[in-house]
Structure 1
Amino acid sequence: MNVGRAALGVSTALAVVGAIGLGVATNTSEPIQVPSIGVCGSPPDSAAAHFRSMAASFVIKNTSGSPVTIRGLRATMLVGLASARVTIKAGADADEIRHYRLEATVAVSSSEVAKSSPVAPDGSTTIAAHSFATVITSMTLADGAMAGRATDFQLATTGALGTIRTQTIPASVGLGVDGAACTALDQ
């Protein structure tokens, strides 16, 4: 009889520990936050004939009290683009941090792109607690396209108990040979 009580006690304790672990693993709050943003950039009229590529960026914020390990980051939809290379850079400029700007930036300089790196699936990219990172997308127009965009970025992070969590960042960055091409892209 004592053996039965002991077995029942151990079973109950394991069930409670398992339920707590499941509760931690199924926590659905997203630690990475970004406003819904969209931008399309174009060159000065004098450069439109040779304009084929550009980089644009937006800022994401880790709102949690713990570091977040990034496992993957990519644009899930390309329209009018031959390619879109997505990289990330820890931190953001002082104005972006102070005001947590709601707009994206177009015509990101090649020196800023060089400071960013692709997200490695090994988890070597981490955003510190309560800090920012800059997502940079280097885009090239498809042959014959007047404008293009990369949208709906999928972010994969390491979750509780080593799980992989994904979230969609509702951002859109694009380029066009002129302002009219950018406007037509949204129609």
Structure 2
Amino acid sequence: MSLDTVVEDIRDDARARAEEMRADGESRAEEIVSEAEADAEEIVADAEREVAQEIEQEREQRLSSAKLEAKQARLEARREALQDVHERVEAAVADIDGEEREELTRSLLDAAAAEFADADSVLVYGRAADEELLGDVLGDYDGFEYAGEYDCLGGVVVEAEGSRVRVNNTFDSVLEEVWEENLRDISERLFEER
């Protein structure tokens, strides 16, 4: 299985899980955005009442300030909603287990192993909870050994002794790549900005 296939599988899985969580995230996002918009409308209304009593220049400055504050409140609410969705996706990815976890781990290890074809000794780091899984999987790779814990959701970090090359094929790195590539679409779907 190629890295592209692995990445696509993880993307598909992340998208499916994101879709499942979208309903929860969407209602939470709507609630946060609604509250922020209500606060923003109140801020704008207050500013307009005060501005009416001042000279035109003062009125324009305060209205502009109120609109900026409202925009910042909406942006903060959206940022919080996106952060909530991201955390839920991370949790779902961390919960991948069984054969699916082994298959993904093998695929990521295969992709990394290609970088170390000539190495005599290759060190593999992974999530502490995956130590047994990695031990089983590494039995199929000559010269590869589990080197210790790496703080991640899963996957592997691989390096060869004496080499400057270090390959980070963790679930985290793949998730972040997918997240960054799809952030605009995720935001549009959560906030219906089409």
If asked which structure has higher relative contact order (CA below 8 Å, sep 6+), I would say 1
TM-score by length of 2: 0.25
Query: If each structure's strand is expressed as a fraction of its own residues, which one has the higher value?
Result: 1
